[in-house]
Chain A
Amino acid sequence: MTETATDVKEMREIARALLAEGDVRVIIGWEAARRGARPVFVTDPAEADRLIFDARCVHNLVTYLNPRRDHVAELGKIGLIVKGCDVKAVAGLLREAQLTRDDVVLIGVRCGGVLEENEMPAAVTLTRDNVAPRCYGCDNREPTLFDHLVGEPQPEPPRPAQTIDERIAALEDRPLEERWAFWTEQFSKCVRCYACRQVCPLCVCERCVADKTRPRWIEPSPHARGNLSWNVTRALHLAGRCVGCGECERFCPVGIPLSLMNGKLQQIVAERYGYTVGDDPEQAAPIGDYRLDDEQEFIK
């Protein structure tokens, strides 16, 4: 890309003004690097031109607002560049009182999908073979939670060769024993690095249950049994909260298909409670809420 796109120019102008006027102390966005886009912290208005936005900007930067990262909050007020999926995580933090709206200035970018593999020197056109599967069916190309919004309305991202829902359905068509074999095989690869937890914008516990030793709820050594406990617990703690940004799966060094687990959770809360995660902080989350007439077909 030789010419700077208008949305990027607009984004840089906003970032520069926010920093120059002292509205924020740091802008967190993406910059171009040798191996593709990467997160960048810009504190000097003169450096606002480092900011970029294109299909390589896969990272969910909301992880920097996670209250566990108090060293980021120490920098001062944050200006954050967010895609439609990312801003749902901001809404999640606001919903759960982990953040107040005044803590952050949100620069929303209209996004038409990102790449699955972002490590390339320049952005390429999205196709069914390179699009991140999670972008299919994106319902937040027009975010509602922002202070500034840049870019033109975007088209729907291309349909990937196999969507996450299709992969889940394919798995569900297999008998129980095969599913058990599939997941225990996947979980047995886990090295318990907890990258999935560390990168998740919504894993907000100061002290994770996986780190507790009295009692030791989750066996810490990486063997299949403790790994199953960990992965089931991680998933359950995100039920009705996960925004599907896919960072856990992208960060997983051993390639556990966590998006299938998270996607299944989203399907469960959608089917049972009609809940789809959005970017409205006022929307009640399904777990922690209830209705008197909730389905209970599984209870005797």
Chain B
Amino acid sequence: MSDFEPRITAFVCNWCTYTGADLAGTSRLHMASNVRIIRLPCTGRIDPLFIVKAFERGADGVIVSGCHPADCHYTSGNYHARRRFAVFHDIMEFIGVDPRRMTFSWVSASEGAKWRDVVDEAVTNVRALGSFEAYRALAPVEDRKA
């Protein structure tokens, strides 16, 4: 357990957070290296099923990040996403998933430092919660990976 490194999947919007994460990199900001980024055109493109799938495939935590309200490249994608993820967040909590495993944030292209903070906080939270064994234990035995 002591050498547990959380695996975190980040679903990010191409127009803001992805560029923000790039800025964090080019600015040489230090941050946890536990996050695998999946770049999508908009937070509105992120089906809650993506998050479920990430947990299924072994993620211990998930980050969803996109443009601040009023900044959406497609005008309203993030507003639609905000409602969808509000419902998703609440229903996952209802079925017993710790909401700290799911981080939602708005990170603009100029907020490299905020991205670092989001990542570090998510990693700290998930590290404290430990591996999401409870989810992986649901799989049929032959599918379980160490």
Contact = CB atoms under 8 A, between A and B. Distances in A.
Interface of A: 171-172, 176-184, 188, 209, 217-219, 221, 223-225, 228-229, 232-233, 235-236, 239-240, 261, 264-265, 268-269, 272-273, 286-292, 294-296, 298-300
A286 B85 CA distance: 13
Contacts of B85: 298-299
Given A228-B52, A264-B90, A300-B118, 11 more contacts: A180-B97, A225-B56, A225-B138, A233-B48, A264-B94, A268-B90, A288-B80, A289-B83, A290-B83, A294-B79, A298-B104
Contact of B96 (A180, A236, A239, A288): A180
B97 to A, nearest CB: 7
Contacts of B34: none
Given A180-B95, A229-B53, A264-B91, A300 B80 contact: no
A270 B78 CA distance: 21
A288 B80 CA distance: 6
Contact of A290 (B76, B89, B138, B139): B76
B89 A224 contact: no
B134 A180 contact: yes
Contacts of B86: 268, 272, 294-296, 298
B140 A232 contact: no
Contact of B83 (A224, A225, A265, A286): A286
Given A176-B98, A223-B139, A229 B56 contact: yes
Contacts of B87: 236, 239-240, 265, 268-269, 272, 287
A261 B96 CA distance: 12
Interface of B is mostly: helix
Nearest to B48: A236
A188 B139 CA distance: 11
Nearest to B96: A180
6 contacts: A171-B94, A209-B49, A235-B91, A298-B85, A299-B106, A300-B106
A176 B104 contact: no
Contacts of A178: 96
Contact of A184 (B76, B80, B138): B138
B105 interface: yes
**Minimum-distance CB pairs A-B, first 4:** A180-B96, A179-B96, A290-B79, A224-B138
Specify which of B53, B99, B118 lies most central, judged by the most chain A CB atoms within 10 Å of its CB. B53
Interface in B85-129: 85-99, 103-106, 118, 121
Contacts of B89: 298
A177 B95 CA distance: 9
Contact of A236 (B88, B93, B106, B118): B88
